[in-house]
Amino acid sequence: MMAPIEQADVWLFRLLNHNLVNPAADNLMVFLTNGRLSWHVFVLAAFFIIARKGKNAFSLILLALLAVGLADFVASGILKPLVQRVRPCFALDHVRLLISQPRSYSFASSHAANSAAVATVIWIFFHRGVLVEKLFTSTIILYAFAVSLSRVYVGVHYPGDVLTGMVIGICSALLIYLVFSWLLKNIIQPRLMRRERCTNG
């Protein structure tokens, strides 16, 4: 017999995978969930970052990549083999499966973790900017949420997998940013200041 939390997870999965669906949305959800189709969204985001941040953009993009790497490692490298939760498309009957069946485990969603990590890094650097930067931040956050939701809609993740993945992505991005800020304040900037004093002195 399933625990109450797992029962709620299955109920919410069926709600999102069976009841709150529309054939007109199927193609959009497949597009969002398939990185091979939607990769150019992140390319456009990178161009926007470069246009707004100039030479500092590459540090920001590097932080985003590091956050994604950490989030993916935690979700796919640690939790999936540790928890070994079977995906709903294999565990439940009558699942609306809109993509090919992934053979990896279900918990936690690396798609949700990775997209949330990128969205969090962008929020850190852009949410206090001018209107266009705020709109960019909101768009990326909405896109990350839609990608996460699509994993349930297409039938390959439970909502709990997605929620956990989002938390992993947010925490990974914050951790990477805190480490970067500490290194910048305590190591990089002091060395640059000493080098500048030696050059001028």
**Averaged pLDDT for residues 68-85:** 96
HSE-up of 131 (CA within 13 Å, CB side)? 0
Residue 157 annotated as catalytic: yes
User: Per-residue pLDDT tens for 142-162?
Assistant: 999 999 999 999 999 999 999
The closest of 147, 154, 142, 148 to 26, measured between CA atoms, is 154
The better pLDDT of the pair 198, 155 is held by 155
Ramachandran assignment for 135, one of left (phi > 0), alpha (psi -120 to 50 degrees), beta (any other): alpha
Q: Indicate whether 1 pLDDT > 50.
A: no
Question: Out of 18, 94, 111, 127, which one is annotated catalytic?
Answer: 111
Q: What are phi and psi of 90, to 5 degrees?
A: -100, -30
Q: What is the pLDDT of residues 39-49, one digit of tens each?
A: 788 888 989 99
Global confidence as pTM: 0.90
Determine whether 111 is an active site residue.
yes
Burial class of residue 144, CB neighbours in 10 A (0-12, 13-18, 19+): buried
The single residue listed with the structure tokens 């030696």 is 198
CATH for 28-200 is 1.10.606.20
Q: What is the pLDDT of residue 2?
A: 58
Catalytic annotation, pick one of 18, 40, 127, 157: 157
